[in-house]
């Protein structure tokens, strides 16, 4: 190939390749086609074996797009004005591109990627006139499409949010960076390697299809680089009790004396608990025992047919039984409780139930990204309506929702980062995914018990029953306003799963509790798992919750550099009793097995 450059870029020119190069490229393309045939055959075979119901529209997207079409037809003037606006932008882009091609003008771009958008990081997207035009044309069109879907006509707010979510996924899927023929980095690699990158990509795709048992299960990291109990979830401790749905882990103290009142942590069962114990440098569990706390944590089972009969009430009962086991092991009458995400939602319901029945076993509660008010509860809400609930129920005929379904749903929340970037890197560029512990955890998906999952989606996301005072557990309605203990609430400012505004509304429901509200920088995971030693991000504190909404609260909040963990530690220690000699895990209940236990090691893609 010659070194001739394309229009203001570094892609090779149109020289005819030599015979040897052509032969090697042809051989590689033949190998790619062979892999493609094998992949299609494997997927077809898996589809034939899969007896679960299949729906052409499993997300129930068609109705909102039909509604959008009606609004466009009912508002022809607005549609015409917006269309003329787009045509004008595209015409101006073409004019500037042609002038730049002829060297007559160096114009400012009409559209630039958002900050943090990595799709167009390759310099060809800016320096090559062809790719620069494709990039800007896409950005103008995609933004116009999303703006039109969001603003035209009159639609119910819930339908509009659902439309926004799915339209974003559509335009992200159509990015020119996702196609080999329009991605300069892929073209450059294909030319330089004579298609060997596509061979490696096809082999990686074949492995991911095999790992997903006929479905595409994208590898976001090196799945062989980590193993729970060997280089993850390493905080020393023991499983001291278990039942059908959980193992109770007690961590070994790291100090000679500990605070007498223990902390029991309730993680979400949608994901595995070891996000809080990834490795010694990032581990919240390790840090807590180093501060002198007696720490226990629940490790939820990865559900299968054995959990078919489990319900929201039975899961809540399991937590209350774990409370008793912690009290029995420590000899303390009261326990501090910590919780995260859906674990915090269930903890709030449990505390409201305990308040109604006069149960005083819990002295204080901490809730990370805990939602109780679901009127606007983040991107996941776009996936829930009456029709999708029916479809999910059909998928759960065996008594649980398969883990791959949960993984797909969470990947859709950030499809550009969690789907398309890996399609390009893994399957087009043929690169091996980088080893990253958080992404390994993210891929270590869990199933969901059918009745628990249906109750959560229907009563919370669909009907907002807790906030309305209509939620019934253990035979009676519960009201979080009955909670009167000290509660520490944490929201993450960039959280797309449990938005900070939703968490703030939830905290304000606890009108009789002694609340402390803190906002962390970053998102749902990084905002929570932020060890002080890393010196990352910041947090905001304020001594009251008088503001009507999160935006007003933040206006008068104090911004503090670094992790919020020390603030929580100070708050928790004031509610943790006195210092006592450090105990040995399982001294009273006995030891079943060392931490992290066996429940957390069950992987859905290894069954």
Contact 538/567 with Cβ under 8 angstroms? no
Q: What is the rounded distance in angstroms from the CA atom of residue 271 to the CA atom of residue 351?
A: 22
With residue 468 as reference, give the H or E element that holds it. Answer: none
Q: Comparing C-alpha atoms, which of 294, 275, 292 is closest to residue 284? A: 275
Q: CB-based contacts of 532: which residues, under 8 Å, 6+ apart?
A: 287, 562, 563, 565, 566
Q: Using N-to-C axis directions, what is the helix angle for 157-173 and 129-151, rounded to 10°? A: 170
Query: What is the pairing mode between strands 486-492 and 362-368?
Result: parallel
Contact 564, 520 (CB under 8 A): yes
Q: How many CB atoms lie within 10 A of CB 285?
A: 27
Angle between helices 62-74 and 157-173 (to 10 degrees): 100
Among this protein's residues, is 429 annotated catalytic? no
Q: Which sign, positive or negative, has the C-alpha torsion 443, 449, 454, 455? A: negative
The answer to whether 401 and 603 are in contact (CB under 8 A) is: no
DSSP bridge partners of 541: 518, 558
Distance CA 122, CA 538 (A): 31
Sign of the Cα torsion 205, 208, 212, 214 reads positive
- What element of type H or E holds 229? none
Q: What is the DSSP letter of 381?
A: G
C-alpha 192/C-alpha 163 separation (Å) is 42
> What is the signed CA dihedral for 545, 550, 555, 558, rounded to 10 degrees?
60
Among 529, 527, 520, 502, smallest CA distance to 559 is for: 520
Per the CB < 8 A criterion, the answer to whether 166 and 64 are in contact is yes
Where would I find the beta strands (DSSP E) of 243-314?
246-251, 257-259, 263-266, 295-300
The strand ranges marked E within 304-351 are: 335-340
Cα dist. 491→271, 313, 319, 335, 542 in Å? 18, 26, 23, 23, 13
User: Dmax of the chain from CA atoms?
Assistant: 85
Q: Give the end-to-end CA distance of the chain in Å, rounded to a whole number.
A: 49
- By the 10 Å C-beta count (0-12 exposed, 13-18 middle, 19+ buried), 503 is classed as buried
Catalytic residue among 11, 149, 298, 341: 341
For 336: left if phi > 0, alpha if psi spans -120 to 50, otherwise beta; the answer is beta
According to DSSP, residue 333 is labeled: S
Between CA 149 and CA 408 the distance in angstroms is: 24
Which two structure tokens, joined as six digits, stand for 598?
A: 């066996």
Residues assigned a catalytic role: 341
């Amino acid at each position: 190939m010659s070194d001739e450059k394309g229009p203001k870029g570094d892609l090779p020119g149109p020289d005819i390749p030599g015979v040897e190069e052509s032969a090697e490229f042809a051989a590689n393309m033949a190998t790619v086609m062979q892999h493609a045939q094998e992949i299609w055959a494997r997927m077809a075979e898996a589809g034939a074996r899969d007896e679960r119901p299949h729906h052409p529209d499993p997300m129930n997207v068609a109705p909102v797009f039909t509604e959008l079409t009606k609004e466009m037809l009912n508002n022809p003037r607005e549609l015409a004005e917006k269309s003329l606006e787009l045509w004008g932008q595209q015409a101006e882009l073409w004019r500037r591109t042609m002038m730049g091609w002829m060297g007559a003008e160096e114009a400012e771009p009409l559209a630039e990627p958002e900050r943090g958008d990595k799709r167009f990081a390759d310099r060809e997207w800016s320096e090559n006139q062809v790719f620069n035009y494709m990039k800007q044309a896409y950005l103008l069109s995609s933004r116009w499409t999303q703006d039109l879907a969001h603003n035209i006509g009159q639609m119910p707010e819930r339908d509009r949010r659902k439309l926004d979510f799915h339209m974003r996924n559509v335009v992200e899927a159509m990015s020119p960076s996702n196609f080999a023929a329009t991605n300069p980095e892929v073209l450059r690699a294909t030319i330089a390697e004579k298609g060997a990158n596509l061979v490696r990509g096809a082999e990686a795709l074949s492995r991911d299809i095999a790992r997903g048992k006929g479905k595409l299960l994208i590898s976001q990291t090196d799945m062989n680089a980590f193993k729970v109990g060997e280089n993850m979830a390493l905080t020393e401790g023991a499983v001291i009790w278990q039942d059908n749905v959980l193992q109770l882990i007690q961590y070994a103290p790291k100090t000679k004396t500990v605070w007498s009142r223990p902390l029991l942590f309730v993680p979400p069962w949608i994901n595995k608990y070891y996000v809080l114990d990834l490795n010694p440098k990032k581990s919240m569990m390790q840090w807590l025992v180093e501060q002198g706390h007696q720490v226990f944590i629940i490790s939820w089972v990865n559900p299968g047919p054995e959990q078919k009969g489990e319900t929201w009430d039975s899961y809540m009962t399991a937590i209350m039984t774990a409370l008793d086991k912690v009290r029995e092991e420590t000899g303390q009458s009261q326990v501090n409780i910590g919780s995260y995400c859906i674990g915090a939602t269930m903890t709030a319901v449990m505390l409201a139930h305990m308040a109604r029945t006069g149960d005083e076993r819990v002295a204080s509660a901490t809730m990370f990204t805990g939602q109780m008010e679901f009127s606007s509860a983040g991107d996941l809400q776009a996936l829930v309506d009456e029709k999708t609930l029916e479809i999910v129920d059909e998928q759960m005929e065996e008594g649980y929702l398969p883990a791959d379904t949960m993984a797909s749903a969470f990947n859709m929340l950030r499809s550009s980062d969690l789907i398309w970037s890996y399609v390009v890197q893994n399957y087009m560029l043929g690169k091996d995914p980088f080893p990253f512990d958080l992404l390994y955890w993210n891929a270590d998906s869990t199933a969901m018990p059918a009745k628990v999952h249906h109750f959560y989606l229907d009563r919370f996301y669909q009907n907002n029953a807790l906030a309305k005072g209509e939620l019934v557990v253990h035979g009676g309605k519960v009201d979080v306003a009955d909670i009167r203990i000290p509660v520490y609430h944490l929201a993450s400012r960039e959280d797309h799963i449990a938005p900070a505004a939703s968490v703030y509304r939830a905290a304000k429901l606890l009108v009789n509790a002694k609340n402390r509200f803190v906002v962390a920088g970053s998102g749902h995971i990084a905002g929570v798992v932020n060890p002080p030693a890393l010196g990352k991000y910041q947090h905001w504190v304020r001594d009251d919750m008088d503001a009507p909404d999160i935006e007003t609260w933040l206006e008068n909040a104090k911004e503090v550099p670094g992790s919020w963990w020390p603030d929580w530690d100070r708050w928790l220690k004031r509610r943790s009793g006195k210092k006592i000699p450090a105990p040995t895990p399982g001294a009273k209940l006995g030891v079943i097995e060392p931490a992290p236990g066996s429940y957390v090691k069950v992987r859905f893609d290894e069954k």
